[in-house]
Amino acid sequence: MKLAFSTLGVPGLPLPDVLRLATEHGYHGVELRAHPEEPVHPRLTPAERADVAAGFEAAGVEVLGLAGYSRVAAPGDDEPVLAEIRALLDLARDLGAPSVRVFPGGAPEQGPEEADATAARRLGTAAEYAADLGVRILLETHDSHRTAADAMRILGLVGHRQVGALWDVMHTWLGGEQPVESFAALSPHLGYVQVKDIASADDTAPLPLGAGVLPLADCVEVLSRHGWDGWLCWEYEKRWYADAAPLPALLSAGRAHLTRLLGESA
């Protein structure tokens, strides 16, 4: 498996510094938070996009994916959501990123069937555009659809190879799923896996990997046992927790922890 970290852990950091952190600490890739607060977002000009792609190529670091914020199950008109996804897909194509992340984002006033159908309709439409660009759309286990079983209700309706899953291990755990259950559901569709650690279900502030309660060893074990050879991406949510320790000082220990888990599972 290859190791990456998300720029959510180093909000606003210039890309040369992000790439330096990746190379110095032994990470193979970076998940880019695609937001106007960050150096990379859909408003970049063609020249700026070319510069970003060239910087990653020169550093020998891969763009694992673009973390967008489209909410595919949210109430409202389809077109604004589809336009947002298309813009993210265009950016991914230009940067050489293989995938983009979207959220479910269903609302309490929707019933599950309405939310599932809305998300599946939008994803099915966006999938055709994604196929033309050679980029995959990954639905994260998150918010209204935090478990793998929840996400599969949508993915089962879509049934398109350009639409897959992003497994956020915190959300499936908070939803009461065991890693073996989450992997069994998501494995045919799995794009990559977001790892992290927290103190408890009531305290989700980010901790160094291995310092909290999330079943990371079980997740790595089930992935290894089934021969899955994709990405593990450390999503350290510093952007939302100002008091959390800075990520750069934790990167080497985090890589060592994941490498140890991979060795124990080999």
Would you say 117 and 102 are in contact if contact means Cβ atoms under 8 Å apart? no
- pLDDT for 228 equals 95
- pLDDT for 156 equals 96
Residues comprising the chain, all counted: 266
What's the pLDDT band for 205 if we cut at 50, 70, 90? very high
3-state class (DSSP) for residue 257: helix
Query: Any bridge partners for residue 137, and if so which?
Result: 100, 163
**C-alpha–C-alpha distance, residues 47 and 232, integer Å:** 30
Spans of all domains in the chain: 2-265
pTM of the predicted structure, to 2 decimals: 0.97
- pLDDT for 163 equals 98
Would you say 54 and 86 are in contact if contact means Cβ atoms under 8 Å apart? no
Average pLDDT, the chain: 97
- pLDDT for 265 equals 78
Sign of CA dihedral 191, 239, 195, 258: positive
CATH of domain 2-265: 3.20.20.150
Phi first, then psi: give them for residue 32, nearest 5 degrees.
-95, 125
What's the pLDDT band for 266 if we cut at 50, 70, 90? low
**C-alpha–C-alpha distance, residues 100 and 98, integer Å:** 7
- pLDDT for 264 equals 85
- pLDDT for 157 equals 97
3-state class (DSSP) for residue 114: helix
Give the model confidence (pLDDT) of 113-152 as tens digits. Answer: 999 999 999 999 999 999 999 999 999 999 999 999 999 9
Give the model confidence (pLDDT) of 210-265 as tens digits. Answer: 999 999 999 999 999 999 999 999 999 999 999 999 999 999 999 999 999 999 87
* Helix (H), strand (E) at residue 131: helix 112-133
